[in-house]
Amino acid sequence: MSAELIIREQLQEILEITNAFEITLEDDLREYGMDSLNAVELVVSLEDKFGIEFNEEDLFVESLNSIQKLVDIIKCMQNAIC
């Protein structure tokens, strides 16, 4: 399963939205109700699913505000070339 698909599934559950697949890769997730508490829940969930640990600098809302940014962070960590 791709990182994008897993992120979308988690967003759908955490943000309680009907269809996270309507969100574009660059849409600001705050427009869909993402707040700091949701962001923490999403980070913990993604860390568990991917077996990674987000870097402290990646935990700012600006780093977590789009699906594309999340995909990039995960790929970077998986490839250990951050």
- The pLDDT tens digits for 25-80 are 999 999 999 999 999 999 999 999 999 999 888 887 678 899 999 999 999 988 87
Domain ranges of the chain: 3-79
C-alpha distance across the termini of the chain, in Å: 22
DSSP letter assigned to residue 63: G
Q: Which architecture, in CATH terms, is 3-79? A: Orthogonal Bundle (1.10)
How would you classify residue 16: left for phi > 0, otherwise alpha for psi between -120 and 50, otherwise beta? left
- Tell me the whole-structure pTM to 2 decimals: 0.89
* Residue that the structure tokens 């990182």 belong to: 3
